[in-house]
Amino acid sequence: MSFIRYAIHPSRPGAHLFELGCTVPEPAPGGQRFSLPAWIPGSYMIREFARHIVSLRAEAGGRAVPLVKLDKRTWQAAKVPCGQALSLIYEVYAWDLSVRAAHLDQTHGFFNGSSVFLAVDGQTDAPCLIDIQPPPDGAGNWRVATALPGAEGEPGAAEPYGFGLYRAADYDELIDHPVEMGEFVLDGFEVCGVRHDIVISGRHDCDMARLKADLARVCQWQIDLFGAPPPMPRYLFLTRAVDEGYGGLEHRASTALIASRADLPYPGMKGMPEAYKAYLGLCSHEYFHSWNVKRIRPAAFLPYDLARENHTRLLWAFEGITSYYDDLALVRAGVIGVDDYLGLLAKTVSSLLKTPGRYRQSVAASSFDAWTHYYRQDENSPNAIVSYYTKGALIALMLDLRLRADSGGKRSLDDVMRVLWRQYGMAGIGVPEDGIFDAVGEIGGDKLARWLRRTVEGVDDLALEKQLKAFGVHWQAEAADTAPTLGIKLASDKEARIATAYDNGPAQKAGLSAGDVLIAVDGLRVDSDRLQKLLSRRRAGDRVEIHAFRRDELMRFELELGIAPADTIKLCVDESAGREAERLRGGWLGERKAARRKASA
């Protein structure tokens, strides 16, 4: 068998440079072309990874081969004599501490294949060998964490968590297994006969026993939802612990996560702190993607075109439904209590209500425009767009509750997900743009499918309060603050700099804009703290004089303070609800499991 061979070496950690090699045993007769992806699946923005290639050369038979750059991400090598292999040698600058690209210093290395491995155009179906090499001063205590399988039977095959040779069936698999190298804590658990390992790098004091126990419950519940066995032979949670950070990216047999070390459980920790709940929700979200988006995929992603945007109107389902299930899995698995879950759900609802853009953009349009709107937000984004994560999750909630209520608890969104898994995920067929509606129609009928289509293509608010009431959940809306409002969002710095002036709010009507720095109200100097204290002494309807700097120009504005909107939601169990509501809620949240977990915490 003829392999395309890759090598990656953290050659200059202090300069953040990986050196890579790519050897093609049978280059194209007329000259081989190479390209690097412009984006990474799961993060829908053109990222131009090729800009980080700082040097590139080609050789064959010990001689240099001319290379011509054709566009921002593509190179053409000259023809080489028949029977000679063609090799590229290049360097990649790696200083992006995120889950999307590559990062290297003296403490560790991390990379996603899409940001470092050049594709051999026309041969992306060929099997690959990947030599992951240690840093130049020796490995020391460094190890390698990746879900890539070792190249068993090949000389230099890597041992588990060791440097050496790994294998990928094709280029698509090669770039779907992130790699962490360095010193890290390793532990794991087994669910349904599948090993799940947890790797945490960076300084931390994580209670691995607590984390293992909680993640095992979540993974077990998700596997039970779709049916055992899970669709991967092993799974890896890769977490980089930092001072401040939060994010994750799904892969076929692993996830790359970044989190604050304060989010991790610590020895002796009591209960379920908010930060830890958020981290578990992130892990749950990415694990659910093992089914929903990695295998149940939009037809627009089969195959991925990594040179340009891949548009679909279905991200509300693939990200939104996943966002619904991430926290739901925690309560259904008994990791958090019902009150905890309703608190998380209330935050999601409040987040949507604080977004004026929900009246301008549908989640279908938000999905399609993710490349240029959601992932490229500016100061006006809250007024212009809606998150397909947030509203998509609440549409999934409405859909689940309606299915359960209409069927007396006999059907749910779980059944829709299983239909999608059988029809598309297990079959390896892409979900067409109408496929979600068809699956909902199969489980809940055409009327519900039509409602769903109207909802994802429209901009109306969801009737969540009424729907939740039928499940014995009490809804309370209140203002986040009793003070009157300017209708602005401040930036996170100390000065009172406007990040967003909300549509039709007092500030916008008076002419204030994003970027303006408020310096005085009614002749009194303000910063972000003083501004709130001053407003708390006023009433809605009061007129105030504001002085602000726009760039270097001092400007004066007069405005009438507005009433703070009742956009903060609190949810709790309605103890006075009837037995039917209690029964439906129990089926939805699995309250018996959750109550047992809460009692033992």
Same-domain pairing of 158 and 15: yes
* pLDDT score of 139: 65
The arithmetic mean of pLDDT across residues 232-253, rounded, is 97
CA distances from 242 to 13, 246, 275, 309 (A): 19, 9, 14, 31
Same-domain pairing of 174 and 197: no
Indicate whether 530 pLDDT > 90: yes
* pLDDT score of 601: 45
Indicate whether 121 pLDDT > 80: yes
* pLDDT score of 492: 87
Same-domain pairing of 318 and 455: yes
Same-domain pairing of 226 and 159: no
* pLDDT score of 593: 47
**Single-letter amino acid, residue 543:** R
Q: Is there a domain that residue 481 lies in?
A: no
Coil vs helix vs strand at 77: strand
The arithmetic mean of pLDDT across residues 57-83, rounded, is 96
Indicate whether 598 pLDDT > 50: no
Same-domain pairing of 76 and 104: yes
Residue 111 CA to residue 249 CA, distance in Å, equals 12
Confidence of residue 269 (pLDDT cuts 50, 70, 90): very high
* pLDDT score of 482: 87
Same-domain pairing of 239 and 366: no
Same-domain pairing of 328 and 248: no
Q: Is there a domain that residue 348 lies in?
A: yes
Q: Is there a domain that residue 281 lies in?
A: no
Same-domain pairing of 111 and 8: yes
Confidence of residue 592 (pLDDT cuts 50, 70, 90): low
Provide the number of structural domains found in the chain: 4
Residue 255 CA to residue 168 CA, distance in Å, equals 17
Q: Is there a domain that residue 549 lies in?
A: yes
Q: In DSSP terms, which residues pair with 144 in a beta bridge?
A: 181
* pLDDT score of 246: 95
The arithmetic mean of pLDDT across residues 6-33, rounded, is 97
Q: pLDDT by residue (tens digit) across 285-309?
A: 999 999 999 999 999 999 999 999 9
Q: Is there a domain that residue 283 lies in?
A: no
Phi first, then psi, for residue 553 (nearest 5°) are: -105, 130
The enclosing domain of 514 has a CATH number of 2.30.42.10
Q: In DSSP terms, which residues pair with 43 in a beta bridge?
A: 40
- Report the range of poorest mean pLDDT among 42-46, 217-221, 587-591: 587-591
Q: Is there a domain that residue 336 lies in?
A: yes
Q: pLDDT by residue (tens digit) across 345-395?
A: 999 999 999 999 999 999 999 999 999 999 999 999 999 999 999 999 999
Confidence of residue 1 (pLDDT cuts 50, 70, 90): low
Residue 156 CA to residue 143 CA, distance in Å, equals 16
Coil vs helix vs strand at 5: strand
Q: Which of 146, 181, 216 is the last residue of a domain?
A: 181
Q: pLDDT by residue (tens digit) across 503-522?
A: 999 999 999 999 999 999 99
Q: Which domain holds residue 550?
A: 488-560
Q: Which residue has the higher pLDDT, 1 or 49?
A: 49
Give yes or no for a contact between 543 and 558, defined as CB atoms under 8 angstroms apart.
yes
Confidence of residue 597 (pLDDT cuts 50, 70, 90): very low
Q: pLDDT by residue (tens digit) across 162-175?
A: 999 999 999 999 99
Residue 226 CA to residue 426 CA, distance in Å, equals 11
Coil vs helix vs strand at 436: helix
Q: pLDDT by residue (tens digit) across 424-482?
A: 999 999 999 999 999 999 999 999 999 999 999 999 999 999 999 999 999 999 998 88
Same-domain pairing of 451 and 375: yes
Nearest CA-CA partner of 329 in 272, 292, 284, 289 = 284
Same-domain pairing of 380 and 295: yes
User: Is the torsion defined by CA of 341, 461, 377, 35 positive or negative?
Assistant: positive
The enclosing domain of 588 has a CATH number of 1.10.390.10
Joined tokens for residue 86: 């063609």
User: Is the torsion defined by CA of 358, 364, 365, 370 positive or negative?
Assistant: positive
Same-domain pairing of 322 and 418: yes
Q: Is there a domain that residue 436 lies in?
A: yes
Same-domain pairing of 379 and 508: no
Confidence of residue 138 (pLDDT cuts 50, 70, 90): confident
Q: What percent of the chain has pLDDT over 70?
A: 98
Indicate whether 125 pLDDT > 80: yes
Q: In DSSP terms, which residues pair with 71 in a beta bridge?
A: 74
Q: Is there a domain that residue 219 lies in?
A: yes
